[in-house]
Amino acid sequence: MFARLLCTALAVGICCVLPASVAGADPASVTIATDDVPARTAFSTRTLRGDGCGSANENEPRAALSLAKLYLVDYALRNGTHGTMDLAAGERAIRFSDDAAADTLDAAYPDAVDAIAAEYGLTHTRGGYWGTSTTSTADVATFLLAKLGADRDSPILEWMADAAPVAADGTEQNWGTAELPGVLGTKWAWSDTGISEVASASFGAGYVVVANTIGSTGEHTEDVFAGVGAATRKVTNSR
């Protein structure tokens, strides 16, 4: 059963259809109000039914942060030549957001991010070194939806579903889109230097949700719930 979620942002003007388990409430009371998301946050959601909506800035290139590891690991898994090394480094890069593991893969496949962008039509993604790559929430959503559809057996989804509670650098991985009810797996991302910038990307049964915030993890989570709606927050707080 699916709950129809009205996308109220006039700039988008389309409706999203997410599983009822995500809304967790009377479908009539749940909206995706992307015009309620502050400009500090870019927000995108897509479904296997072909629905999708996002904030007005969902195509804005921002620092990819550790979401670039999704692209890097996908390339290594499908095109890499180092077998078990690629598999082990890929798992650590996704489950633990391990920068050293990502550096190992980046050294072996320096053009990986650009190659994935070209393959999946990620028009707002630029590669080079993974740690300085840029992408948009719309591009990350497009990529993850492709994994969820034609490549649902990808280890990337398995590792996102079994992410470590604490990342390799000690950061807790328990915020953002991961807090939405119905989420099955998440990849988190954050800046280590300069201004605070964080991101998260999650998938559930037939949908993906991605957000990037110039701000703290707390602000990020607040903005995610602003986009998905107050009814979802009520369900989450009652868990």
**Domains of the chain with CATH codes:** 36-48+58-221 (3.40.710.10)
Residue 197 and residue 182 in contact, taking contact as beta carbons nearer than 8 Å: no
> At 36, is the pLDDT very low, low, confident or very high (cuts 50, 70, 90)?
confident
Can you give the pLDDT at residue 1? 23
Give me the mean pLDDT over the 205-222 stretch.
96
Which residue type does 218 have? G
pLDDT higher for 36 or 173?
173
pLDDT higher than 70, residue 14: no
Can you give the pLDDT at residue 5? 31
